[in-house]
Amino acid sequence: MVQHRNGSALKDAPGAVKAVLGPTNTGKTHLAIERMCAHSSGMIGFPLRLLAREVYDRVVKIKGEASVALITGEERIEPKNARYLLCTAEAMPVSERSMAFVAIDEAQLAADRERGHVFTDRLLHARGREETMILGSSTAEPLVKALVPGVEVVTRPRFSTLTHAGAKKLSRVPPRSAIVAFSTEQVYAIAEMLRRFRGGAAVVMGALSPQTRNAQVALYQSGEVDYLVATDAIGMGLNLDVEHVAFAGLSKYDGRRHRRLTPPEMAQIAGRAGRHQKDGSFGTLTGTGGHDSEFDPEEIYAIEEHRFAPLTKLFWREPEPRFDSLATLIADLETPPLRPELAPAPEAIDLAVLKRLADEGPVADTVRGFGQVRRFWDVCRLPDFRQQGVETHSRFVARLWQDLRSGELGADFVAGQIAQLDRTGGDIDTLQGRIAAIRSWAYIAQRPDWVLARDEMAARARAVEARLSDALHGKLTERFINRRTAVLMKKLGPDTGLLSVRLEDEEVLVEGEHIGSLRGFTFQVDPGARLSDRKLLLAAAEKHLSTLLGTRADALVTGIHEGTAAITLADGALVWDGQKLASLAPGRALLTPVMVPDRALDAVPDVSRKALVAALEVWLEAALKPLAPLAKLDEASRATDAGSDLRALLITLVERGGMTAREDSGLGRLDKQRRTMLARLGVRVGALDLFVPAMLRTPVIALWRQLAKVSGKKEGGAPAPDMPPVLPAGNHRPPPGYRALGKQLLRLDMAEKLLREAHELRAAEKRGSFALDPARAVSMGLTTSSYARLLRLGGFQPLMPRALAEGQHGPPAPVRWRWRPPRRQAEPERAAPVRRDGAFAALADMVR
């Protein structure tokens, strides 16, 4: 039977009508798809555009793109010869197309306050020539039987068991869970908390575009995150691999009042847990409210056993009103049904907008005649995608009507409106607002009699929606998902060993996610990580780096033995890769420090650590070999035949880096035998200093200074780079290995060489005085005054030329010198005469 305008009569519809009823996860939708594909043509009406799109993709794989159409308010894909239509309930072309098979999904939504009248109309009128299938909850069974004569009712059991798991803290909610909240603010708060200690969550809300919802669901389905935070939009047909559903609350604002969810609504959401043969559970979150946030025993029983009070009324509104005038149209839409099973539909937003604008004279005066009234009603039925209420939506509809009442919208105008929304910047709320606005224009552009160049404008609107959806998906992912934390959280339990850990340069990657850097054997957490993530990353490093550190330690041991390890000794520490491996501590003597491994090596496995420490001991021994001459002196100081005076001198040389001034050495107290021992030990006894020639090198002096510092000895000044023969004197203490000569410094071995040459020249002349050519000293970089100072320190004294003394003029005579034993004190310098000729100036320079 078909229903008359007032819903008072029904007559038999063609084809068999079957109602497949039952809870979620019973395979109803899958059955409908199979049955449709078995017919020559078919149509299914879904409650959501998202569901229609999902099934469209499945049917395309079976029947091919040319045979399948997608028809929704915002998107229409209609091949010319399409025989299978996947639609939203509102967009089903019931009166335009005759199909062999027709199905209505989620028929119990006929009791919904906003959209119920649409599903009731489809329940009453949508029929297939050969077969009709009504899918829904068992709560609709009595009314389906009453309204559809001859219907065959098939009840399908749930494939899996649904069990109440009680209340849990958010930190205790198991992986593969969906947390359901009933406000955007609560969804964001929960997602942010999950990001901090679980790596994040996908976010699904009714305000998101289908593309964004699909992208977020894909993050969850792929396993990239283990949690999904959603509004009750999750309860309508989204097929997810959810094992547990946690309710953040059990009440919501339904647009009119704040109320508790009904048991069927709870079951619809909780039923998302468990798919196919896999059992699921449901529960609540602790700390989110009082008693209102906990299930009653009766509710738990009803959900677990799928026993709910049947529906008593379905909402109905006249599906074919008259368009004689606005008053007639409103009266028909408010006409109550005559059947007891039907109830007048609450005032939906389209009727509220119609009544509001009908009361506004400037708008109502433009609506005259059948055609205008019908067109005006179509404009009022524009969905409120922005969900801003009757007042705001009415103004938008009024502006749209002013453009549509006299014809179609120009392509340039629509393109301009779409272009204004084509901006991907802004935060999450801003992008959601733009997506809602572009969905309105996508709906407008789909109407064949509203927009010129409809196909082009519809394509532009879909493209902008896609870009905005991608941007929103990116923002949601950036804000609520920490991929690194999500990866680590999955494997910090028994599956730790399954993680892929590797090094790229110095960067540590776990499952491809950067967690920090490894310098030497020290792990440093990524400095860009949030404070809340640091503990997790350190835990991950502790669990996953042991093998990596062992491998690195073994490689370093091999490098040490092969001589390729780039280890340095700096500031009393063994340094590799910029990190300290061990420190030197005072030992029994200055040249025998104790090596103390750094705490960073504690993380290395024991076997590898012991091998590394032993290898470092070998390396240190080799690194200290340049100090072997000093070690020889140190060993000789302990010999029983050394004598106290020689022992004291050797200890002094060791503590002073192998060099000491002759006047401080106590050399005069040594007998001939001890002096011979000293020479055999490699100590050179000079006129001014005693020194070990091998120690007059920068690296060796630097090495000795480090050991002196470790042992607490006075290490002297820093060594001169490259140890040149001559250095300019500064304000600081001379570096080790140099003697001060006024404004210049001369290396000890060079000083002794010059003095030895002077003595050899003196011995060759066999006279009381002799002449010295300063060329040799000058070639080293010494000034004549510095050379003269050196000679005087060595016991040489200049003799004034006779001509200069008598005041005669002429060519400068060569300066002559005589030697006196160093034990005699040099005479004080005399005041310079008034006359200064060349010879006197040269001598004065030498003396200075």
**What are the structure tokens assigned to 476, written together?**
């949601």
Task: Tell me the mean pLDDT in the region 163-176.
Answer: 90
Q: Predicted confidence band at 387 (pLDDT cuts at 50, 70, 90)?
A: confident
How confident is the model over 519-547, as a mean pLDDT? Answer: 66
- Give rounded-to-5 percent helix, strand, coil for the chain: 45, 20, 35
Question: How far is 547 from 360, CA to CA, in rounded Å?
Answer: 77
- pLDDT higher than 50, residue 830: no
Kindly report which listed range (229-233, 805-809, 816-820) carries the lowest average pLDDT score. Answer: 805-809
pLDDT digits (tens, 9 = 90+) for 136-168: 999 999 999 999 999 999 998 887 889 999 999
Nearest residue to 363 (alpha-carbon basis) of 401, 317, 325, 396: 401
Q: What is the mean pLDDT of the chain?
A: 83
Residue 805 has what pLDDT? Answer: 44
The string of pLDDT tens digits covering residues 225-263 is 889 998 887 766 567 888 999 999 888 877 678 888 989
Give the three-state DSSP class for 592: strand
pLDDT at residue 841, rounded to an integer: 43
Distance in angstroms (rounded) separating the CA atoms of residues 272 and 280? 8
Q: How confident is the model at residue 774 (pLDDT cuts 50, 70, 90)?
A: confident
> pLDDT-based confidence at 207, cuts 50/70/90?
confident
* pLDDT digits 0-9 by tens, 394-424: 999 999 999 998 889 998 999 999 999 999 9
For the ranges 284-298, 471-485, 531-545, 718-732, the maximum mean pLDDT occurs at 718-732
Q: Looking at residue 389, what is its pLDDT?
A: 87
**pLDDT tens digits, one per residue of 730-740:** 777 888 889 89
In order of 21, 112, 134, 334, 640, the CA distances from 124 in angstroms are 17, 16, 10, 19, 120
The residue type found at 722 is D
| Residues 351, 358: Cα–Cα separation, whole Å | 10
- Predicted confidence at residue 193, as pLDDT, reads 85
Segment 464-507, tens digit of pLDDT: 999 999 999 888 888 887 665 665 555 554 444 444 555 555 66
Separation of CA 795 from chain center: 76
Under the banding of pLDDT at 50, 70 and 90, the label for residue 46 is: very high
Residue type, 450: W
One-letter amino acid at 441 equals: W
**What does the alpha-carbon distance between residue 667 and residue 340 come to, in Å, rounded to a whole number?**
129
For 387-396, 617-626, 643-652, 763-772, which range has the lowest pLDDT when averaged over its residues?
A: 763-772
Is the pLDDT score of 802 beyond 60?
no
Distance (Å, rounded) from C-alpha 685 to C-alpha 698? 21
Contact 441, 421 (CB under 8 A): yes
- pLDDT, residue 320, reads 92
Q: Does the structure show a pLDDT above 50 at 44?
A: yes
CB 346 within 8 A of CB 369: no
Q: Which residue has the tokens 């602790």?
A: 286
Res. 847 pLDDT band, cuts 50 70 90 = very low
> What is the predicted pLDDT for the residue at 832?
41
Burial class (CB in 10 A: 0-12, 13-18, 19+), 73: buried
pLDDT for position 527: 66
Instruction: Pick the closest to residue 54 from 68, 41, 42, 66 (CA basis).
Output: 68
What is the model's pLDDT at position 463? 92
Residues 6 or more apart in contact with residue 235 via CB below 8 angstroms? 180, 265, 268, 269, 271, 272
Of the two residues 306 and 134, the one the predictor is more confident about is 134
Cα 843 to Cα 848: distance, rounded to the nearest angstrom: 9
**Residue 833 or 734, more confident:** 734
- Other C-beta atoms within 10 Å of 831: how many? 6
Q: What is the pLDDT of residue 828?
A: 40
393 pLDDT higher than 50: yes
Cα radius of gyration rounded to whole Å, the chain: 49
- The pLDDT assigned to 536 comes to 58
Q: How open is the CA angle 219-494-166, to the nearest 5 degrees?
A: 65
